[in-house]
C-alpha cells in the first residue's frame, strides 16, 4: 500500500539529547511511502516515544547508557537486510563502567549487578522482526476446519501450533496448539457420553465453544516493531509458548515467536557483547529452574496418566523414571501429537515406555545437566541441541529439577529489570 502523496505525522519528543527530533515542540516528520499509516516504533529503548517517524528513523537510538563516564564501549554490528522495513539498521552501543568490567564489588544478588543488565538492554534494542527468519513455514487454519484434519496437518508440516482465522470476523481469533489436542483427549477419552471418534468430526470453532464456554480471551500477539524484551515478557507473563508476530498494517502473521527462537537469536548475536559474571556461576548457586515438587511419570504408567499430569500441573514435559527412580527418558507434549499421526489415540492405556519406543521421528529426547555446571554451559547446551528444557540430575541420575527456556529468559532478561513474570 502506498500514498499518492507524502504525508506527515507528529512524533513525540525523544528523551535522548542526540536525537534528531529531541527538541520541543515535536517535529512533523515524513511517513515512509511504504506505510499506509504511521505505526512503527521510533525509539525501542523502552522509554516511550511511540509515535511514528517513518522507515528511515526506525531504531534510531541505542539503549540508555549504563554509565556516562569512565566507560568502555562495545558495539553490535548491524543486522539489517536490504528491503526489510522493521529490521534494525544502526549499530547498538553498550556502555560499560568499571563495575561491569569486574573492577569493583557487586551486590549479593547476581542478577542485580550492573553487568547483569547487558542482556536486558540487548533485548530492548532489537525488535521482533530482527528475530524473524528469512524463510520459514507458517500454517494457518480456518476455525471451520475439522479437528482431526487440523492436527494431522500440524504433524504433516512439522509445526506445533497454528493461528486460527475466523472468516466471519475477518480476524485471527486464537491459536491451535498441542495443548488443545491434549485437552481433547483428556476430556473425551473416558467420557461415557461422547466417543472420541465423534469429536474428530467437530470443527475447531465447535471445540472452542465447548472448551472455552463463552470465555473467549483475546489473542495474545505482538507487532514486529515491538522489542524482543516485550516478546519475552509476553511469553512468560501469559504462560504461552507461541507468540504470533502480526503486521499492524496488513494484519498478516509474519512469524510465530518462541522461547527457543529468541534464545537462539540471543545466543548467536549476543556473543558480540560482554558476558555478565553470573554466567560463570553454577546452577546450584543461582537457583534458576524448578527444584521442588518436580512432576515425573513412571515408564510403566499409561499414556493417559501423563495426559492427566500435563493438564493438572500445566507442565510441558515429564521426566520418565524407571523402577529405581532414575531418569531414563522425557515425555513431552509434542510426543502426544504423534498419536494423531499414528491414529493410536484410541488406545491411551499403552505404557509411556512403549509410546516413546513408537516415536516415528527422533525428537529432542532427554538431555540432562548437573548442579555443578555453570549457567553458561547450560545455555550453550540448550541452544546447541535446540531443546526446551534440561533435566537436572545428580551423579546417580536421580531427578533433582527442571531448567526450562522460560527460567533462562526470566533470569537473563527480566530479572535484571526487576520483573518476575514467571511467578506473577
Per-residue model confidence (pLDDT) at position 309? 95
User: How far is Cα 94 from Cα 415, in angstroms, rounded to an integer?
Assistant: 19
- HSE-CB at 269 with a 13 A cutoff on CA atoms is 21
User: How far is Cα 417 from Cα 411, in angstroms, rounded to an integer?
Assistant: 10
User: How far is Cα 172 from Cα 135, in angstroms, rounded to an integer?
Assistant: 22
Per-residue pLDDT averaged across 307-332, rounded? 94
φ and ψ at 374, to 5 degrees?
Answer: -80, 160
Higher-pLDDT residue of 69 and 307 is: 307
- Global pTM exceeds 0.75: no
**Percent of the chain scoring above 70 in pLDDT:** 69
Label residue 51 by pLDDT band (50, 70, 90): very low
Largest CA distance in the chain: 74
pLDDT digits (tens, 9 = 90+) for 410-424: 999 999 999 999 887
Per-residue model confidence (pLDDT) at position 6? 33
Per-residue model confidence (pLDDT) at position 271? 79
Per-residue pLDDT averaged across 331-337, rounded? 87
Higher-pLDDT residue of 216 and 11 is: 216
Q: List the single range of 3-12, 65-74, 81-90, 292-301 with lowest mean pLDDT.
A: 65-74
Please, which residues bridge with residue 257 across strands? 243
Per-residue model confidence (pLDDT) at position 41? 38
**Which helix (H) or strand (E) covers residue 7, if one does?**
none
User: How far is Cα 298 from Cα 305, in angstroms, rounded to an integer?
Assistant: 9
Per-residue pLDDT averaged across 262-281, rounded? 90
Whether the CB-CB separation of 270 and 262 falls below 8 Å is answered with no
φ and ψ at 152, to 5 degrees?
Answer: -65, -40
User: How far is Cα 410 from Cα 319, in angstroms, rounded to an integer?
Assistant: 22
The label of the residue with cell 505404557 reads 351
Handedness of CA 218, 309, 146, 213 (dihedral sign): negative
φ and ψ at 189, to 5 degrees?
Answer: -60, -45
User: How far is Cα 389 from Cα 295, in angstroms, rounded to an integer?
Assistant: 14
Average pLDDT, the chain: 75
Q: List the single range of 2-16, 338-352, 385-399 with lowest mean pLDDT.
A: 2-16
User: How far is Cα 52 from Cα 314, in angstroms, rounded to an integer?
Assistant: 40
Q: Select from 256, 264, 198, 194 the least CA-distant residue to 231.
A: 256
Higher-pLDDT residue of 289 and 94 is: 289
Per-residue pLDDT averaged across 247-265, rounded? 95
Per-residue model confidence (pLDDT) at position 273? 87
Q: List the single range of 110-119, 187-196, 294-303 with lowest mean pLDDT.
A: 187-196
Q: Select from 405, 372, 400, 407 the least CA-distant residue to 294.
A: 400
At residue 318, the 3 state secondary structure works out as strand
Per-residue pLDDT averaged across 233-248, rounded? 95
Whether the CB-CB separation of 63 and 417 falls below 8 Å is answered with no
pLDDT digits (tens, 9 = 90+) for 68-90: 333 332 333 333 333 344 544 43
DSSP string, 32-70: PTT-SS--S-S--SSS---S---GGGTT-SPPPPS-SSS
Q: Is residue 169 classed exposed, middle or buried when 0-12, 13-18 and 19+ CB atoms within 10 A define those classes? A: exposed
- Residues in Cβ contact with 83 at an 8 Å cutoff, skipping those fewer than 6 apart: none
Per-residue model confidence (pLDDT) at position 167? 94
Per-residue model confidence (pLDDT) at position 270? 81
User: How far is Cα 75 from Cα 122, in angstroms, rounded to an integer?
Assistant: 11
Label residue 62 by pLDDT band (50, 70, 90): very low
Show the domains of the chain with their CATH numbers: 1-61 (no CATH), 281-417 (3.10.580.10)
Amino acid at each position: 500500500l502506498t500514498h499518492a502523496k507524502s504525508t506527515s505525522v507528529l512524533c513525540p519528543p525523544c528523551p535522548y539529547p542526540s536525537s534528531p527530533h529531541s527538541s520541543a515542540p515535536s517535529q512533523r516528520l515524513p511517513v515512509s511511502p511504504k506505510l499506509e499509516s504511521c505505526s512503527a516504533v521510533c525509539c525501542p529503548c523502552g522509554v516511550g516515544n511511540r509515535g511514528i517517524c517513518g522507515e528511515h528513523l526506525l531504531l534510531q537510538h541505542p539503549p540508555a547508557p549504563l554509565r556516562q563516564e569512565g566507560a568502555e564501549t562495545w558495539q553490535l554490528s548491524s543486522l539489517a537486510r536490504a528491503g526489510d522495513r522493521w529490521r534494525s539498521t544502526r549499530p547498538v552501543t553498550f556502555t560499560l563502567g568499571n563495575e561491569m568490567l569486574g573492577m569493583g564489588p557487586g551486590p549479593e544478588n547476581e542478577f542485580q549487578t550492573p553487568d547483569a543488565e547487558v542482556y536486558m538492554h540487548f533485548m530492548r534494542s532489537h525488535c521482533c522482526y530482527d528475530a524473524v527468519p528469512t524463510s520459514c513455514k507458517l500454517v494457518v487454519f480456518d476455525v471451520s476446519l475439522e479437528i482431526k484434519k487440523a492436527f494431522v496437518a500440524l504433524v504433516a508440516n512439522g509445526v506445533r501450533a497454528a493461528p486460527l482465522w475466523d472468516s466471519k470476523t475477518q480476524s485471527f481469533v486464537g491459536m491451535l496448539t498441542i495443548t488443545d489436542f491434549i485437552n481433547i483427549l483428556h476430556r473425551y477419552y473416558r467420557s461415557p457420553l461422547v466417543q472420541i471418534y465423534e469429536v474428530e468430526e467437530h470443527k475447531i470453532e465447535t471445540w472452542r465453544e465447548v472448551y472455552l464456554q463463552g470465555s473467549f480471551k483475546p489473542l495474545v500477539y505482538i507487532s514486529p516493531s515491538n522489542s524482543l524484551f516485550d516478546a519475552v515478557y509476553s511469553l512468560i507473563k501469559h504462560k504461552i509458548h507461541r507468540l504470533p508476530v502480526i503486521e499492524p498494517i496488513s494484519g498478516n502473521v509474519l512469524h510465530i515467536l518462541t522461547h527457543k527462537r529468541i534464545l537462539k537469536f540471543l545466543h548467536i548475536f549476543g556473543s558480540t557483547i560482554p558476558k555478565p559474571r553470573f554466567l560463570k556461576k553454577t546452577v546450584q548457586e543461582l537457583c534458576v529452574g524448578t527444584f521442588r515438587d518436580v512432576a515425573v511419570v513412571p515408564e510403566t504408567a499409561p499414556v493417559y496418566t501423563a495426559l492427566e499430569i500435563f493438564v493438572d500441573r500445566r507442565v510441558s514435559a515429564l521426566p520418565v523414571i524407571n523402577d529405581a527412580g532414575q531418569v531414563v527418558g522425557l515425555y513431552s507434549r509434542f510426543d502426544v501429537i504423534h498419536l494423531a499421526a499414528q491414529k493410536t489415540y484410541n488406545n491411551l492405556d499403552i505404557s509411556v515406555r512403549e509410546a516413546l519406543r513408537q516415536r516415528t521421528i527422533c525428537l529432542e529426547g532427554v538431555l540432562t545437566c548437573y548442579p555443578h555446571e555453570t549457567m553458561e554451559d547450560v545455555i550453550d547446551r540448550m541452544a546447541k541441541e535446540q531443546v526446551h528444557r534440561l533435566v537436572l540430575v545428580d551423579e546417580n541420575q536421580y531427578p533433582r529439577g527442571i531448567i526450562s527456556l522460560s527460567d533462562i529468559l526470566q533470569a537473563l532478561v527480566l530479572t535484571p529489570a526487576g520483573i518476575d513474570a514467571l511467578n506473577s
